Amino acid sequence: SFSAITVASSQCSITGIPLVRNISEIPQDNYGRAGLSHITVAGSLLHGMKEVEVWLQTFAPGTHTPIHRHSCEEVFVVLKGSGTLYLASDSDGKYPGKPQEHFIFPNSTFHIPVNDAHQLWNTNKHEDLQFLVVISRPPVKVFIYEDWSMPHTAAKLKFPYYWDEQCYQTPPKDEL
Amino acid sequence: SFSAITVASSQCSITGIPLVRNISEIPQDNYGRAGLSHITVAGSLLHGMKEVEVWLQTFAPGTHTPIHRHSCEEVFVVLKGSGTLYLASDSDGKYPGKPQEHFIFPNSTFHIPVNDAHQLWNTNKHEDLQFLVVISRPPVKVFIYEDWSMPHTAAKLKFPYYWDEQCYQTPPKDEL
Ligand SMILES: [Zn+2]
Ligand SMILES: [Zn+2]
């Protein structure tokens, strides 16, 4: 309907957004993934960022990302809770293989080596896991694996990613 | 002395650094600027980042950055305290001119438009101001102004920047 289009386009417009924003007032959504809360703190599609993007994410107990890889850099800063980072560092093989497990905790930081398959879990049954995520070269292009033995070549591109779907506009052919 | 060289080079080596790091255990320093605490959470020179860098900075009451500009993107997430962002948005003029003042507060976020002259102050007399900073294309190349009416062309390049000095190595000539 006309009003739905108006709402969508105003949520996707970078004009009129105040320079200093209260993160508590930025809309959050689970984008169809139960247990997730995602906020785009500074984004390509929402705020005109071209080189970096910042997210605030909260994972309820048991919630996890898909197994995935991307060619952009990604840095995490854990604000609250704890969990497990699964990281398969052998991106030279045909498939990710058995990942290493890394415990993550409040005030910890880590970055994901470019193109390494990884997955984050809130493995703490009692507490939400909250972190800031920084990525380069937004909007993110994610390849998703069904399991750790799926060949790299079979991983499926999810683009635009969940939170970019609403505001992403296919670029004109000559920009591709 | 030999031992000083050893210490410096081991602090600048990216090998042997654990993937998940406790931010509370990462060395902080004021780099000769009273009232500043800077921690490179994920850095180009320290951790091999190529596209993004993350800092945690704390400014004591009255502490401020120089008036400066840079061509990289920069995003702030304020964790604690409050202060003032001074931002001169007319980068088309010959000099920055009178900046606009923006109040910044806990859980606020803002980004600096590329090449706009800006300055951050902890204008709260009673509390430290703490924020995470994200920049693109590290290490940062900063142009410093003595005041808001200094011509853009007179702003002085400070490179490597304060916290990059110890570990920065001049690239071979053919990379310049
Ligand atoms: Zn990722
Ligand atoms: Zn700056």
pTM to 2 decimal places: 0.92
Q: Which residue is associated with the tokens 């609403």? A: A166
Q: What's the pLDDT score for residue B11?
A: 74
| Closest C-alpha among A124, A112, A55 to residue A86 | A112
Identify which ligand lies nearest to the alpha carbon of A64.
Answer: 1
Q: At a CB cut-off of 8 Å and minimum separation 6, what does B151 contact?
A: B94, B95
Q: At a CB cut-off of 8 Å and minimum separation 6, what does B32 contact?
A: B162
Task: Identify the residue with better confidence: B170 or B78.
Answer: B78
Answer yes or no: do B42 and A107 touch at CB < 8 A.
Answer: no
Q: How far is ligand 2, taken at its centre, from the CA of residue B115, in Å? A: 9
- Angle made by CA atoms A170, A37, A100, in degrees to the nearest 5: 90
Q: Which residue is associated with the tokens 């859980």? A: B107
Per-residue pLDDT in tens (0 to 9) along chain A, 176 residues: 344 444 445 678 878 889 999 999 999 999 999 999 999 999 999 999 999 999 999 999 999 999 999 999 999 999 999 999 999 987 678 999 999 999 999 999 999 999 999 999 999 999 999 999 999 999 999 999 999 999 999 999 999 999 999 999 876 666 54
Contact between A114 and A73 under an 8 Å Cβ cutoff? The reply is yes
The proportion of chain B whose per-residue pLDDT surpasses 70, expressed as a percent, equals: 90
What's the first-to-final CA gap in chain A, in angstroms? 30
Q: At a CB cut-off of 8 Å and minimum separation 6, what does B20 contact?
A: A85, A102, A103, A104, A105, A108, A109, A110
Interface ipTM: 0.91
Letter for the amino acid at A44? S
User: How many residues belong to chain A?
Assistant: 176
CA R_g for chain B: 17
Q: What's the pLDDT score for residue A143?
A: 98
Beta bridge partners of A69: A143
3-state SS, residue B26: coil
Q: What's the pLDDT score for residue B91?
A: 64
Answer yes or no: do B136 and A52 touch at CB < 8 A.
Answer: yes
B77-134: pLDDT as tens digits: 999 999 999 999 876 789 999 999 999 999 999 999 999 999 999 999 999 999 999 9
Q: What's the pLDDT score for residue A91?
A: 64
Residues of chain A found within 8 Å of residue B137, distances taken between Cβ atoms: 51
Residues of chain A found within 8 Å of residue B133, distances taken between Cβ atoms: none
Running DSSP on this structure, what letter comes out for residue B104? E
Contact between A21 and A43 under an 8 Å Cβ cutoff? The reply is no
Does residue B3 have a pLDDT over 60?
no
Beta bridge partners of A120: A85
Query: What integer is the mean pLDDT of B15-24?
Result: 93
Residues of chain A found within 8 Å of residue B24, distances taken between Cβ atoms: 107
Answer yes or no: do A42 and B109 touch at CB < 8 A.
Answer: yes
Inter-chain contacts counted by CB atoms under 8 A, chains A and B: 105
Q: Which residue is associated with the tokens 């004021």? A: B30
Identify which ligand lies nearest to the alpha carbon of A71.
Answer: 1
Q: How far is ligand 1, taken at its centre, from the CA of residue B44, in Å? A: 19
Q: In chain A, count H helices and then E strands.
A: 2, 12
| Closest C-alpha among B89, B72, B48, B164 to residue A52 | B72
3-state SS, residue A75: strand
Does residue B1 have a pLDDT over 50?
no
Residues of chain A found within 8 Å of residue B104, distances taken between Cβ atoms: 20
Helix (H) or strand (E) holding B21: strand B21-22
Answer yes or no: do B19 and A75 touch at CB < 8 A.
Answer: no
Residues of chain A found within 8 Å of residue B49, distances taken between Cβ atoms: 73, 75, 111
Please tell me if residue B136 touches chain A, with a CB cutoff of 8 Å. yes
Chain B interface, best mutation among A14, A15, A17, A19, by max B CB count within 10 A: A19
Contact between B58 and B35 under an 8 Å Cβ cutoff? The reply is no
Would you tell me which residues 99-118 of chain A have a C-beta closer than 8 angstroms to some C-beta of chain B? 102-105, 107-111
Q: Measure the CA–CA gap between A165 and A159, rounded to whole angstroms.
A: 8
Identify which ligand lies nearest to the alpha carbon of A72.
Answer: 1
